[in-house]
């Protein structure tokens, strides 16, 4: 299997986005819709005698830095949830997220500011497109067969591509060197949300038991010791879970978030992480939500024990 790596400019804190051109046929991720990123992508395709009409785009997951310029490609393939988000450039998804943020205590003026920011900045970073078809099962790249694996938790529409013969995986944002993926909330409607941390733990468990000699991630360097990275991510999730548990009493999610994390420039990420962790704690019986505020109903020692069991279960698969 021939893999060409292209690093594209990405304004988000995680750094450049990795694009992979596999066997001169499949392009995994398009990057964000900014001129310097699009120009470099076009040049990299040209070097391999490809262009936006002939290359087959596969989208790892529906975030601006991965599918922002997907609209340029004639043929695009992704998880059906990612196609749905591409269809309106995440608009209906984000509108629901802002409703959930307000239900979790975000003041209206800040929600308004987020929406204005969306209109002003984010909207241009992802362009809507109807050229997306849903994939599953397997995918062919000039003779090589890649298995499509659903890996929700960071984003519900997230897939990974696995090449069994060389134990290579294209893993997107679910395991990254030196940074832990954010559990982005996934509203089902105005009231309900998907259990994203439960989904992420299942994803890590499924990846841990795979044989992987090389993981090509969505950002940063190639991952060789993926099991170590998964163990690190689990430690980070446990730490956050305990921190939020200890600070949740008689607060709404916004109050928890702003009491713990000072950098309010990252308010979107802080809110989504806090809500996801509180959902997890509530589902597992450690907090209860009454009149918009969370109340601690479990013991810290039990939460530590639970995380020990979660980690042992996942690590025993290796
Ligand atoms: Zn992402
Ligand atoms: Zn990313």
* Three state DSSP letters for 84-137: HHHHCCCHHHHHHHHHHHHHCCCCHHHHHHHHHHHHHHHHHHCCCCCCEEECCC
CA of 228 to the centre of ligand 1 (A): 20
Class assignment of domain 234-315?
mainly alpha
> Quick check: 174 and 181 in contact, CB under 8 A?
yes
Regions of the chain short of the pLDDT cut 70: none
**Are β-strands 159-163 and 144-150 bridged in parallel, bridged antiparallel, or unpaired?**
antiparallel
CA of 151 to the centre of ligand 1 (A): 12
> Quick check: 101 and 114 in contact, CB under 8 A?
yes
CA of 154 to the centre of ligand 1 (A): 7
Q: Report d(CA 13, CA 231) in Å as an integer.
A: 23
Given this model, what pLDDT does residue 123 score?
A: 81
CA of 30 to the centre of ligand 2 (A): 11
> Quick check: 256 and 294 in contact, CB under 8 A?
yes
CA of 295 to the centre of ligand 1 (A): 31
Q: Where are the alpha helices (DSSP H) in the chain?
A: 35-47, 64-67, 80-87, 91-103, 108-117, 123-125, 196-208, 226-246, 253-260, 267-283, 300-315
CA of 163 to the centre of ligand 1 (A): 22
Which one, of 121, 17, 134, lies nearest residue 86 by Cα?
A: 134
**Tell me, which fold does domain 3-95+124-229 have in CATH?**
Metallo-beta-lactamase; Chain A (3.60.15)
Half-sphere CA count of 293, side-chain side, radius 13 A: 7
Q: Where in the chain is the domain with CATH 1.10.10?
A: 234-315
Closest ligand to 18 CA? 2
Return the HEC string of 207-222: HHCCCCCEEEECECCC
Given this model, what pLDDT does residue 119 score?
A: 86
What pLDDT digit, counting tens, does each position of 122-181 carry?
889 999 999 999 998 999 999 999 999 999 999 999 999 999 999 999 999 999 999 999
CA of 29 to the centre of ligand 2 (A): 10
Q: Report d(CA 168, CA 211) in Å as an integer.
A: 9
CA of 302 to the centre of ligand 1 (A): 32
Given this model, what pLDDT does residue 192 score?
A: 98
CA of 291 to the centre of ligand 1 (A): 32
Hey, what are 244's tokens?
């939020």
What is the reported pTM?
Answer: 0.96
Given this model, what pLDDT does residue 304 score?
A: 98
Q: Where in the chain is the domain with CATH 3.60.15.10?
A: 3-95+124-229
Closest ligand to 269 CA? 1
CA of 133 to the centre of ligand 2 (A): 21
CB atoms within 10 A of CB 310: 18
Given this model, what pLDDT does residue 161 score?
A: 98
CA of 63 to the centre of ligand 2 (A): 7
Given this model, what pLDDT does residue 121 score?
A: 81
Q: Report d(CA 178, CA 163) in Å as an integer.
A: 24
Hey, what are 114's tokens?
């987020």
Q: Report d(CA 164, CA 166) in Å as an integer.
A: 6
> Quick check: 167 and 214 in contact, CB under 8 A?
yes
Closest ligand to 272 CA? 1
> Quick check: 126 and 90 in contact, CB under 8 A?
yes
CA of 17 to the centre of ligand 2 (A): 7
Hey, what are 144's tokens?
């090589």
């Amino acid at each position: 299997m021939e893999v060409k790596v292209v690093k594209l400019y990405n304004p988000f804190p995680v750094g450049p986005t990795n694009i992979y051109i596999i066997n001169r046929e499949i392009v995994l991720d398009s990057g964000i819709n900014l001129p310097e990123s699009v120009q470099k992508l076009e040049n990299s395709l040209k070097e391999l005698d490809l262009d936006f009409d002939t290359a087959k785009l596969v989208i790892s997951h529906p975030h601006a830095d991965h599918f922002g310029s997907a609209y340029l490609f004639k043929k695009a393939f992704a998880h059906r949830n990612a196609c749905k988000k591409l269809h309106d450039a995440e608009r209906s998804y984000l509108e629901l997220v802002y409703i959930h943020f307000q239900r979790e205590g975000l003041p209206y003026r800040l929600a308004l500011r987020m929406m204005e920011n969306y209109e002003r900045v984010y909207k241009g970073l992802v362009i809507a497109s109807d050229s997306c078809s849903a994939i599953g099962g397997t995918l062919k790249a000039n003779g090589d067969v890649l298995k499509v694996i659903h890996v929700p938790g960071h984003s519900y529409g997230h897939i990974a591509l696995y090449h069994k013969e060389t134990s290579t995986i294209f893993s997107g944002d679910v395991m990254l060197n030196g940074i832990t993926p954010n559990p982005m909330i996934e509203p089902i409607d105005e009231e309900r949300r998907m259990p994203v941390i439960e989904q992420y733990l299942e994803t890590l468990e499924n990846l841990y038991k795979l044989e992987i000699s090389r993981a090509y991630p969505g950002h940063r360097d190639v991952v060789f010791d993926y099991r170590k990275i998964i163990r690190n991510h689990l430690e980070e999730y446990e730490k956050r879970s305990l921190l939020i548990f200890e600070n949740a009493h008689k607060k709404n999610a916004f109050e928890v978030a702003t009491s713990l994390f000072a950098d309010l420039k990252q308010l979107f990420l802080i809110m989504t992480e806090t809500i996801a962790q509180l959902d997890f704690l509530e589902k597992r019986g450690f907090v209860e939500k009454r009149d918009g505020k969370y109340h601690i109903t479990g013991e810290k020692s039990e939460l530590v024990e639970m995380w020990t069991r979660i980690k042992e279960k996942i690590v025993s698969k290796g």
